[in-house]
Structure 1
Amino acid sequence: MNHCPHCAAPAQPGWQFCEECGKHLGEPVAAEPTMRFSPDDKGLLDLGRVAGVTDVGLNRPRNEDAVAIGTQGPALAAVICDGVATSSRSETAAALGVSEGLRALLDACAKGEPPGSATATGLIAAAAAVAGLGTPGERNPPCCTYVSALFHEGSVVIGWVGDSPAYWIGPAGTHRLTVDDSAAGRLTAEGVPPDDPRFAMPMAHALDRWLGADAGPVTPKVHRFVPDSPGLVVICSDGLSQYLDAKLVAPVDHGSMPATAVRLLLGRALGAGGGDNISVAALACPVPEEDA
């Protein structure tokens, strides 16, 4: 099976137009990326094979999350940043982080960088931009977390700093791809039961990696895998993950369209309490060509 060079949707031999995005399959791939950025509060971002949404939630006075989605030829990408609530202008940090991160990531893809390298390039660009909003000696400079997802050349690559996670949703269920940058996050990843007293220790849930002028040198964490089945990559802020990890909301079907998936997950997080800002993005990953 072939794939559309513009949106990566499956395409049968002999087709002239993509049934997903409508573009001519023989048309040259656009040199410029297509990108969408979250508005101040509500609004669906939808590019077909990748979609995102953000919401202030039910208990916060303003939305300190931001989400961006984009495509570069067949590459699909999304970035989410969650402003650190204890920092100043955290919403500014999040908005700048997603825009600079996504632009640099897709630009690296256009230049032919391997997916892992492109992911690191995007994260480093976001880190530099957010750090530039403050000074190292400043009290509580603008800060945020960062997570990106890239589907390109049959592989999924996740890059992150902080506690905004990524998940793979496939036929076998939902699997977390990231480890939160906190003592509690590492304990959870090691399978330590939640009643372990170490979870109640002071600062157990405090971030030890973030983006900001006071973050110091940022080393990207990058995870790559090649799906052996169709599915969805989902990235989100902790306004969703707190419920998803606790199994208080149901995951979505792995065959859902991204726009449907993000709407459902947002609605379920709000239904579970909506205690924080909620941002979620999803990328559709088709069956690998060799298995089609």
Structure 2
Amino acid sequence: MLASATPQTAPAGEESPLDVGWTGAVPSAAVAPVDDELTCHACGQGRIVDGYCDHCGTPPPNPRDHLVESPTSWVGGVCDIGRRHARNEDAMSLSAAEAPGSRAVLVVCDGVSMATDSHIASLAAAKAARAVLDQPFPKGAGTPDAWAAGAGRALTGAVARANEAVAAAVVEDVPNPPSCTFVAAVVEDDVIVAGNVGDSRVYWLPDAADEPARQLGRDDSFAQEQMAAGVPRQEAETGPHAHSITRWLGRDAPDDLTPHLTTLTATPGWLMVCSDGLWNYCSEAEALRTLLHDAAGRLEEPTPTAVAQALVDFANEQGGRDNITVALARLAGRGSSTTSEATASAAPVEGDPTDG
């Protein structure tokens, strides 16, 4: 039996299915659904009555099968079930201020497929982490470095809070308790701090060809351990145990959940937070930059949400073997106060509280 739904945060009748835990159609006494919402999407003839089509018996689509978030014009994301899985165990949670580059939080969690009810775990973790990261960080001396140090501490705290949320997501004792990966990036005044536990990733994809694209942080995975031992990336990431992770969130998580932290100052470019449903098909940062630029170039309006959808479409076209989540922030673009003369910080040194 599933755990009880998460506490509602919206007024009765206005809650999202994701606020109460999706178990079918969510009735609302306050807002009557329009006819299109009542029409069965499977047969196109029946109407949804008591959670099922009165003609063919099909339930309505789970809203988690395809989610789109566009908090502002410069931040957006898409979370999709893919083509092979019965449910979407990815989750994302985004927030952003209106001014480009001013402040944003992008969180993505990927439920571990072999664990019980990991779709519940990933959503609980994403929402709990964003609640922490939405709070202002102490600026200390008021310098970017001081803010980055505070952001690093906040990300570490967000991981701890997300882990607690995952552990509490399902109350029953089960052999494989719910678990998920964690990755997040926080932007403030075009300074980025990113952190991850597991193999979901953050990429920095600058516009300038002479500035290298890079993955921020590193995976907690068997493939990463192989690459550290000298195995070529392609071989390591396509091997039989490539997606075996070495750290995760959940009741059976390892003791050390300190995230891999990275700090940089953005030039014009794209910040991407994604699950392995995307990078399964395009892993290297330079190749991913080319893929994104090509996708954006084909769009009449390359908004972050539109580009994210194009990348999700790409992953589905390659087979869509996993759930796919892509969240993007467009930094130092039109309207940003950051000049193109800013440069990315040096590669981080492991162990520094603001680097990973």
Please provide the CA RMSD for this pair: 3.1
SS of the equivalent of 1:43 reads strand
Question: Which has the higher relative contact order, 1 or 2, with Cα contacts under 8 A spaced 6 or more apart?
Answer: 1
Determine the structure 1 residue equivalent to 2:70: 46
In the alignment, does 2:324 pair up with 1:278?
yes
Between structures 1 and 2, the one with greater strand share: 1
Deviation at 1:220, TM superposition (A): 2.0
Residues 199, 261 of structure 1: alpha-carbon distance in 2 compared, 3 angstrom cutoff: closer
In the alignment, does 2:116 pair up with 1:88?
yes
Letter in 1 for 2:221: S
* Cα distance in structure 1, aligned partners of 2:163 and 2:75: 24
Residues 272, 71 of structure 1: alpha-carbon distance in 2 compared, 3 angstrom cutoff: same
**Runs of 5+ unmatched residues, structure 1:** 1-36
What count of residue pairs does the alignment treat as equivalent?
254
Letter in 2 for 1:230: P
Residues 136, 159 of structure 1: alpha-carbon distance in 2 compared, 3 angstrom cutoff: farther
* Cα distance in structure 2, aligned partners of 1:70 and 1:196: 37
| Greater Cα radius of gyration, structure 1 or 2 | 2
* Cα distance in structure 2, aligned partners of 1:93 and 1:186: 26
Deviation at 1:51, TM superposition (A): 0.6
Answer whether contact 2:159 2:182 (CA < 8 A) is retained.
yes
State TM-score, norm by structure 2: 0.63
Q: Which of residues 237, 251, 272 is equivalent to 1:234? A: 272
Answer whether contact 2:64 2:81 (CA < 8 A) is retained.
no
Residues 205, 53 of structure 1: alpha-carbon distance in 2 compared, 3 angstrom cutoff: closer
Deviation at 1:109, TM superposition (A): 3.5
Deviation at 1:230, TM superposition (A): 0.6
SS of the equivalent of 1:69 reads strand
Q: Percent identity?
A: 33
- In the TM superposition, 1:2-17 aligns within 5 A as none
Q: Which of residues 198, 207, 223 is equivalent to 2:262? A: 223
In the alignment, does 2:177 pair up with 1:141?
yes
**Runs of 5+ unmatched residues, structure 2:** 1-17, 20-62, 141-146, 343-356
Q: Which of residues 280, 287, 291 is equivalent to 1:251? A: 291
- In the TM superposition, 1:176-195 aligns within 5 A as 176-188=215-227, 192-194=231-233
Answer whether contact 1:174 1:251 (CA < 8 A) is retained.
no
Letter in 2 for 1:143: S
Q: Which of residues 87, 94, 108 is equivalent to 1:62? A: 87
* Deviation digits for residues 250-284 of structure 1 (CA, Å, limit 9, x no counterpart): 52128943112211111111111111111110012
* Cα distance in structure 2, aligned partners of 1:147 and 1:259: 19
State TM-score, norm by structure 1: 0.76
* Cα distance in structure 1, aligned partners of 2:306 and 2:223: 32
